[in-house]
Structure 1
Amino acid sequence: MKNITISDVAERAKVSRSTVSQYLNQRYDYMGEKTKLRIEEVIEELGYQPNIVARSLKQKSTKTIGVIVANILHNFSTEVSRSIEDVCNDYDFHTIICNADDEPKKEKRYIEMLRAKQVDGLIIFPTGGNKDLYQKMIDENYPVVFVDRSVDGIPISSIMLDNEKASTLAIDHFASSGYKRIGIVTTSILQSVTPRVERVEGYRKAMEAHGLQVNEDYIKSVNIGEIQEALSEMATLPNPPDAILAGNDLALIEILKFVKKHKLKMPTDIAVIGIDDVSFASFYSPTITTIAQPTFKMGKKAAEVLLSKIQKEESKDDGPDYRFEPELVCRDSV
């Protein structure tokens, strides 16, 4: 079959090629309704598909951005990515979402692949392990925004929670409820992942502010597969913690597994607060007190900042980091 071209559409609709082009680019300012309907009918009749590659070359834009999340299993990553996609759709941009699994090598492959596909910009939840690559994008004035994390020495704007305040809200709530032996469990901080480091630091500061002892045996930052063992170690201490702050949703799930396995009762045996307002928190029994992140606002801001960079072609970075306020959601686990 012959490929249908924009010239075929113009000829059948009895309009110029530029008029069809204006229609395809949704520039209707000087186009009558009858003309629009006629072009639409011809496109459907002929089965015309615009040549996206040709349009991209001509416009020097693919109208596509890449999103590289550190771990798609996080509730935070899913909700932020959804918000990014919503905003991009409103601006007629497409999104390609990739999952790096917190592995720098995988992240590097995705950055190189997406740039080879000529996406107009990237939103990255950075592993922190590709500083040379991040710096190269800055040097080339390539539009990039970080989400959830910053990287030391790399001046790229990041969209983040006020992580220390998130921990402070949790410790304040525990303390006001009479708890003193308070622990914290996060996934590993070996890669200096911003929210994990800041949440532990916020925990320390808040404990000291309440005059509560910071027991190093109550602080566990380990890989997901090691959390059960870490919780067992805490539980067998002479004076085990009577409350635990889960540093993120994955840590919370592991804590809840431990509670169920050992037939513990919340909050009688152990009080729990999780950072990330997971979907099941409101109907788990008992309901789980959480520190909520404004995920959709954060995703919206990430998309808006990146699209602004793309459209304005801003020079070397960069703007400020953007910090968002956490919110305590009180339920029955404390």
Structure 2
Amino acid sequence: MNSKLRTITISDVAEKAEVSKSTVSQYLNQRYEYMGKKTRERIAAAIQELDYQPNFVARSLKQKKSTTIGVIVANISHEFSTQIVKSIEDYCNASDYHIIVCNAEDDPDKEKEYIDMLRAKQMEGIIVFPTSTNINLYLELTMEDYPLVFVDREVPEVNASSIMLDNKKAAALAVEEFISHGFSKVGIITNSTDNNVSPRIERISGFRDALSKNSLEVCEDYIKSVEVENVTGELDKMMRLNEPPEAILAGNDLVLIEILRFVKQHKLTIPEDLAVIGIDDVSFASIYYPEITTIAQPTSEMGWKAAELLLNRIKGGHENRRDTHRFTPTLLRRSSC
């Protein structure tokens, strides 16, 4: 009984497979170059029969590698963020890496604490949705050649790759869809741009450009970037104008939720009283009534690319680390405009 309760070790696997401990170690680290097929099969069978669980912590300390990366999201409340994280985890899992996820809650100080913590825990690299204000910290990491990839936001001063949506195109797709349905008084609400968060700035810029391209007036009263808790208040001001907007583009999923809350509170009808399009294809968009037209981001591809870039850097890749990888948005037509 006692022998079954004791911890199975690498020595037990080696004895069962009739090989040395070093051979089992090489197998566990996927170094198969000088190992025959039958040897690999014996080791695999021994591991399965003995239900051997490798001590990854001990291996990491010995190798000075953790095979773990950190992922810091700006705000886990965004469905976009959770979709990206899932894709990163899928890629890392397939590559025998693990991830630790941290939520900075759009707080630069909290983001800094997480970066320091992840480095102390020997994370081999970090994927971060940057708050954009910790520039000196990002610069310090890149000067130390620490693997770093940005997602959703650019930090031009820092030599690190970024994964981004073509945000101007996303806004243009929405404007063109509104126009195709006969709307000419079109507005946009995004989260605050106070910290120069690049996707918010780019979406407003793309919105302005699309209106001008289509010879429509750019009405400043219809363009707002505010904290999420102030969205309904700003929309209320818009709708009380002598000439209120006919259509609103929600800059992201959280803004969309606030707009829909306003619509419900004021008993408005979509799209008759107010047409709506949201950037980010939230899960409820197709079951809300009426179904919400959205601009989808290819989150699976974006997450995979972020993980691929980081793991390539960890493994010694020398690609241009300042590239911005832009992904194409997709309009999903439904019934809200």
TM-score, normalised on structure 1? 0.94
Q: 2:42 aligns with which of 30, 35, 41?
A: 35
Q: 1:328 aligns with which of 321, 325, 331?
A: 331
Query: Is the 1:185–1:219 Cα contact (8 Å) retained in structure 2?
Result: yes
1:10 maps to 14
Q: Equivalent residue of 1:66, what SS?
A: strand
Query: Is the 1:68–1:107 Cα contact (8 Å) retained in structure 2?
Result: yes
Query: Is the 1:81–1:299 Cα contact (8 Å) retained in structure 2?
Result: yes
User: Alignment length, in residue pairs?
Assistant: 330
**Which segments of 5 or more consecutive residues in structure 1 lack a partner in the other structure?**
none
Question: Which runs of structure 2 are paired with 1:123-272 in the superposition (5 Å)?
Answer: 123-272=127-276
- 2:121 pairs with 1:102: no
Q: 1:325, 1:115 → 2: CA distance?
A: 33
Amino acid at match of 2:153: R
Q: 2:214, 2:18 → 1: CA distance?
A: 78
Classify 1:189/1:42 alpha carbon distance in 2 versus 1 (closer, same or farther; 3 Å): same
Q: Which deviates more from structure 2 when the two are superposed, residues 7-16 or residues 198-207?
A: 7-16
TM-score, normalised on structure 2? 0.93
Q: Equivalent residue of 1:286, what SS?
A: coil
- How big is the shift at 1:272? 0.4
Q: 1:275 aligns with which of 276, 279, 282?
A: 279
**Which segments of 5 or more consecutive residues in structure 2 lack a partner in the other structure?**
none
Q: Equivalent residue of 1:197, what SS?
A: helix
Query: Is the 1:162–1:325 Cα contact (8 Å) retained in structure 2?
Result: yes
Classify 1:37/1:99 alpha carbon distance in 2 versus 1 (closer, same or farther; 3 Å): closer
Classify 1:175/1:38 alpha carbon distance in 2 versus 1 (closer, same or farther; 3 Å): closer
Q: 2:169, 2:45 → 1: CA distance?
A: 58
Please provide the CA RMSD for this pair: 1.8
Q: 1:302 aligns with which of 299, 306, 316?
A: 306
Classify 1:41/1:276 alpha carbon distance in 2 versus 1 (closer, same or farther; 3 Å): closer
Q: 2:317, 2:65 → 1: CA distance?
A: 12
CA deviation profile, 1:176-199 (whole Å, cap 9, x unmatched)? 211111110111110111110100
Q: 1:104, 1:300 → 2: CA distance?
A: 25
Amino acid at match of 1:224: V
Q: Equivalent residue of 1:155, what SS?
A: coil
CA deviation profile, 1:223-278 (whole Å, cap 9, x unmatched)? 01111111111111111101000000000000001111111111111100100111
Q: Equivalent residue of 1:98, what SS?
A: strand
Report % sequence identity. 57
Q: 1:74, 1:291 → 2: CA distance?
A: 15
Q: 2:53, 2:284 → 1: CA distance?
A: 44
Q: 1:307, 1:34 → 2: CA distance?
A: 28
Q: 1:129, 1:109 → 2: CA distance?
A: 14
- How big is the shift at 1:41? 5.0
1:318 maps to 321
Q: 2:272, 2:240 → 1: CA distance?
A: 17
Query: Is the 1:126–1:146 Cα contact (8 Å) retained in structure 2?
Result: yes
Query: Is the 1:12–1:42 Cα contact (8 Å) retained in structure 2?
Result: no
- How big is the shift at 1:52? 2.3
Q: 2:145, 2:218 → 1: CA distance?
A: 45
- How big is the shift at 1:55? 1.4
Query: Is the 2:13–2:47 Cα contact (8 Å) retained in structure 1?
Result: no
Q: Which deviates more from structure 2 when the two are superposed, residues 58-67 or residues 116-125?
A: 58-67
Q: 1:206, 1:41 → 2: CA distance?
A: 60
Q: Equivalent residue of 2:116, what SS?
A: helix
CA deviation profile, 1:66-85 (whole Å, cap 9, x unmatched)? 10000111111010100000
Q: Equivalent residue of 1:65, what SS?
A: strand
Q: 2:306, 2:31 → 1: CA distance?
A: 27
